[in-house]
Structure 1
Amino acid sequence: MVNLFLSGGGDKEQTEIIDKEFVRAIDLNKPLLYIPIAMHEEIPYKDCYTWIHSVFNPLGITEIEMWTDLEAKSLEDLRGFSSIYIGGGNTFYLLNALRETGFGKVLKEYVDKKGIVYGGSAGAIIFGRDILTSSHMDPNHTNLKTFEGLNYLQNYSIWCHYETSNDDLIKEYVYKYGISVIALSEETGIVMSEDTVKLIGGSPAYIFRNRDKDVVKLNEEIQ
């Protein structure tokens, strides 16, 4: 069973292939839970809610509930949902909120119990080993001190919105921290099932490890 979908953070046209595969994996008789809090003070939540409907209503998801406060939420609160969609924005703010509210532990338990989660951009980066792959685009306004992600991807960190102009920054990150990176363009996503990670979407991904850069083709497993 596939239970983790991560995308490079494109618009709905760019992520359509990934979105459709996600929709096929979930129970459309249950509502989708949308968590847009990474957009805190960037885009109004009501605009985020309009956007998520514009993405998934045409694909058959008509009932969407939005949470903007994760305080005191439990695994039991998640049982009525088909899945969780965690949107993009500021990765540092998102990880800090998950820690401060305790929802990060709930989310890990949900994933470990085969709950289905889709993360886009910041919502994807938090599932890697370390979130400093976002530091070139996200300011750390929260003064977060430790940057470990949820680490579901074989000890890889995730780099979203990848362009070839990012190569030197990625290589510098790999050299400095000794952590390998999966780089996803805005048309690219990965799906995780058990311990298998497979590439989907419209463009290849790239693996940066040591001083090497290797291409991962569509439908290929990431080793």
Structure 2
Amino acid sequence: MGYLFLSGGGDKEQTKEIDQAFLKQINLNKPLLYIPIAMDEAIPFDECYKWINSVFKPLGIQEITMWTDLSNKTLEDLKQFSAIYIGGGNTFSLLNAIRISKLDKVLDEYIENEGVIYGGSAGAIILGSNIMTCAHMDANNANLQNFEGLNYIQDYSIWCHYEMEIDSFIWSYIKNYKKTVIALPEDTGIFYRKSGIEVIGTSPAFIFKDEDKLLVQPKPFI
């Protein structure tokens, strides 16, 4: 099993602690792979590339490769990178593109071979069990019918951009989909590995299960 970093979807100042924890886990001598396709038709990919460089180059990553065509990729293609960063945007479009290209099967192999994936916002949501946690924000323009995520995190669903005012949406989701939810504010993330889940960032995460809501404080990342 590999390593996952999931961010609640804040800007680079909000995610700084999460980003720094991520850098401690990867080989900085290898390039980072960036997949921005959730932003297709929303923000030009060259602007996305400028943004990812503005986030990670000051922190020590010198080379970033961007993929906007996911077709015909293999595990060997992924192994040349230190990690994969899957960016935010429309969650339905992102999962649809990954499925159509069959990159989901390659990511399964990658994570089983100690790969490292960082998902931000939509990129985090697809790593969970069910992506309908985004339905209050994202339009299903891809006409996606299967809402199952890649399910890398112990059958948890991921809720990004969390604020207490939307608790009613989360309880409705749990009633409809019978899932346990990890809710992440924009300045909060989680680090997942075989030994368990660790909250990182500057605000607590929240776990919604059945009728319970549990607050989990972040810990210093080692």
Q: CA RMSD in A?
A: 1.2
Matched residues in 2 for 1:125 and 1:51: separation?
20
Amino acid at match of 1:181: V
Q: Report SS of the residue matched to 1:140.
A: coil
- Aligned residue in 2 for 1:58: 58
| Structure 1 contact 92–140 (Cα < 8 Å) conserved | yes
> Which residue does 2:87 correspond to in 1?
87
Q: Which amino acid counterpart does residue 140 of structure 1 have in structure 2?
A: N
Give the % identical residues.
60
Deviation digits for residues 129-171 of structure 1 (CA, Å, limit 9, x no counterpart):
0000000000000100010011111111000000011100000
Is contact 1:2-1:191 (8 Å) kept?
A: no
Q: CA deviation at 1:195?
A: 4.3
The answer as to 2:23 corresponding to 1:23 is yes
- Relative to the length of structure 1, the TM-score reads 0.96
Query: Conserved in 1, the CA contact under 8 Å of 2:2 and 2:113?
Result: no
The corresponding residue for 1:130 is 130
Cα distance in 2, alignment partners of residues 76 and 198 from structure 1: 29
Contact 2:2 2:111 in 1 (8 A): no
Report what 1:204 is aligned to.
204
Output the amino acid matched with 1:180: T
Q: Shift of residue 2 of structure 1?
A: 6.5
Equivalent-residue separation in structure 2 for 1:153 and 1:90 (angstroms): 21
Deviation at 1:219, TM superposition (A): 2.5
Aligned length: 220
CA contact (8 A) 2:2 2:112 kept: no
Task: Tell me the residue number matched to 1:191.
Answer: 191
Report the residue type matching 2:147 in the other structure: F
State the secondary structure of the residue aligned to 1:190: strand
Tell me the secondary structure at the aligned position of residue 55 of structure 1. Answer: helix
Offset, 1:190? 0.3
- Which amino acid counterpart does residue 81 of structure 2 have in structure 1? F
Runs of 4+, deviation exceeding 6 Å: none
Secondary structure of 2:128 counterpart? coil
Q: How far apart in 1 are the matches of 2:77 and 2:57? A: 23
